[in-house]
Structure 1
């Protein structure tokens, strides 16, 4: 139970047991039905669907064929891999770290994690708002790099008196890239291959999520869990550096059926529609 990585379960299981989790799982189903019926598709996708299709094109071949799209696709694979390595590595090992190395009992640890993950929610909301003010790339890079800096700081300088504050700040930071991830990636690819490119890059990057728990476990045996968590800062740094240097924002407007190359500034011609 102490190694349970699922955040909601960590908060509910010790007090209420497992049955309430099944009732809570109904909420995403209701939200999915609401989104399907009430949220419109982007105009660019609707226009693309209206166009006659004489032959079925292979989206993967289209990604590979275009050098610019292929390059951006590869950059997003690396970025997604490092981001998910860091994010899921923290989610898996932070509860164990609080119990085994900081000495918190399980119920007290759950309270700390609830605060951390609540801050994460607000951090994502703030990231989305800031992205409209200063740009997706800036927010993504700042989120990744600030998490990379703060994670080892948390491990090395925590005390019983400041651990709550440090965990809250950390929760606010480490989910920031996810607050703009979907929008940033979607605007990196043209309409006709957007779903394939975004889904492909992100889910290939799940390799990072898969190996993170094992990797940190191996490191913790040789050093400590805290040292392993600090290493995750390297992954977050790379997740921030790659888009900061190589991935422009707003290269394609999802509300326009536009398949041409992005403008030199990396912005669409109808920026007012970019979400």
Structure 2
């Protein structure tokens, strides 16, 4: 269910990238303005990550998730009815606001439902939704837009989210409230480190400012935060400017670009699944968390630097190969959420997850605007150099700053 939710989440984040070329022409929007529209989602999404994490800790996931899902779906649908730069900017910011608690909720659910030695696989499975969903949906979305126009694309996307919000409310339960889970399974999860009863234990806890201080005073948390920002730079390029890069800079046909664009997403999907299941396999074989959890992330950031190779060829196949290697690496590194569930203080997992996604989400604010300025003369080469440099910085963060993978126990 989280996997499907993530697919819809990213559908509503990224359909703007499919619509961008037609939307720019119809509404007379230039590249710099388009950069701000791409970025608007990140403004509210990143700013509200910490409040979203706090709310995720306090409100039942069964209630909170369908409410925010319905709200961001309505904002998505209304995008198909507007005619101005300002309206699009506001609606994109609205989608970011309502999606803000989503990944802290995802992480909380996995922390409740899975023992630690299965958690990377679970995180990889739902995270893969953002890549497989777009790999399968990009060609479909281009065909929908070809048939119904960019307005129809937004309306169809919004309706899908509204339907799934109802499905979530009907079927989701936390493990201790699920009528199909037995005592032996609950025991298996809890003895393996799954926090199945965390809601009951934490429901009387009031927010304290010391909790917020805990989110910012540990070096290993800052290594995670900055690494997530760098990881996000590659992701955001593919979620925003990538279709424009193929159509306007590389001159591909719009329909054909949808099929070409799906290849790097498939590569990222394979990368995240490989990382998750390999990481858990290494843990079960007795390897340390430093090896099992960090190796996929460090390897992935290294591979992401390959995006620069696309600047040195005019061959479409080679361009897609370089971009696919880079996004495969991004997929490998996307299990970084495992560090939140393993390192954050137990009572602040939602808050730390929100902080992690807040700083990571700042990439969605900064990167689209930076790229908009870098490509305003029509040349995407500086943008790819910029993305490659961010991947290198992320590699440094995870290698030298995160340190030993162990849960933080704050002093009372």
TM-score, normalized by the shorter chain, greater than 0.5? yes
| Structure 2: 5+ residue stretches without partners | 1-18, 24-37, 39-129, 179-185, 283-290
Establish whether residue 136 from structure 1 lines up as the match of residue 286 from structure 2: no
* 2:82 counterpart residue number: none
- Partners of 1:92 and 1:66 lie apart in 2 by 30
- Partners of 2:143 and 2:204 lie apart in 1 by 59
Assess if the C-alpha contact under 8 Å between 1:147 and 1:233 holds in 2: yes
Of 265, 269, 280, the residue aligned with 1:117 is 265
Q: Against the structure 1 CA distance between its residues 233 and 161, is the aligned structure 2 distance closer, same or farther, given a 3 Å change threshold?
A: closer
TM-score scaled by structure 2? 0.53
Q: Against the structure 1 CA distance between its residues 161 and 112, is the aligned structure 2 distance closer, same or farther, given a 3 Å change threshold?
A: closer
Of 362, 366, 373, the residue aligned with 1:207 is 362
- Partners of 2:210 and 2:140 lie apart in 1 by 46
Kindly state the Cα deviation for residue 50 of structure 1 after the two structures are TM-superposed: 5.6
Kindly state the Cα deviation for residue 65 of structure 1 after the two structures are TM-superposed: 5.5
| Residues paired across the two proteins, number | 252
Kindly state the Cα deviation for residue 23 of structure 1 after the two structures are TM-superposed: 5.2
* 2:304 counterpart residue number: 147
Q: Larger deviation: 89-98 or 43-52?
A: 43-52
Establish whether residue 62 from structure 1 lines up as the match of residue 211 from structure 2: yes
* 1:36 counterpart residue number: 173
Q: Larger deviation: 165-174 or 242-251?
A: 165-174
- Partners of 1:215 and 1:187 lie apart in 2 by 33
* 2:319 counterpart residue number: 163
- Partners of 1:88 and 1:32 lie apart in 2 by 30
Q: Against the structure 1 CA distance between its residues 146 and 34, is the aligned structure 2 distance closer, same or farther, given a 3 Å change threshold?
A: farther
* 2:35 counterpart residue number: none
* 1:230 counterpart residue number: 385
Instruction: Give me the CA root mean square deviation.
Output: 3.4
Assess if the C-alpha contact under 8 Å between 1:145 and 1:241 holds in 2: no
Assess if the C-alpha contact under 8 Å between 1:188 and 1:249 holds in 2: no
Of 179, 182, 198, the residue aligned with 2:337 is 182
- Partners of 1:83 and 1:128 lie apart in 2 by 16
Assess if the C-alpha contact under 8 Å between 2:307 and 2:323 holds in 1: no
CA deviations 1:160-219 (Å, max 9, x no partner) are 3433433433332222211x1221222121211222112122123311111111101111
* 2:348 counterpart residue number: 193
Of 195, 210, 214, the residue aligned with 1:45 is 195
- Partners of 1:76 and 1:53 lie apart in 2 by 27
Establish whether residue 15 from structure 1 lines up as the match of residue 143 from structure 2: yes
Q: Against the structure 1 CA distance between its residues 99 and 37, is the aligned structure 2 distance closer, same or farther, given a 3 Å change threshold?
A: same
| Structure 1: 5+ residue stretches without partners | 253-257, 262-275
SS in 2 for 1:103: coil
- Partners of 1:241 and 1:45 lie apart in 2 by 32
CA deviations 1:35-83 (Å, max 9, x no partner) are 535687865634555659987351x51352598x532333332222222
- Partners of 1:62 and 1:165 lie apart in 2 by 45
If each structure's helix is expressed as a fraction of its own residues, which one has the higher value?
2
TM-score scaled by structure 1? 0.76
SS in 2 for 1:224: coil
Q: Against the structure 1 CA distance between its residues 52 and 200, is the aligned structure 2 distance closer, same or farther, given a 3 Å change threshold?
A: closer
SS in 2 for 1:248: coil
- Partners of 2:168 and 2:351 lie apart in 1 by 24
Q: Against the structure 1 CA distance between its residues 183 and 99, is the aligned structure 2 distance closer, same or farther, given a 3 Å change threshold?
A: same
Establish whether residue 107 from structure 1 lines up as the match of residue 243 from structure 2: no
Assess if the C-alpha contact under 8 Å between 1:84 and 1:209 holds in 2: yes
- Partners of 1:66 and 1:217 lie apart in 2 by 32
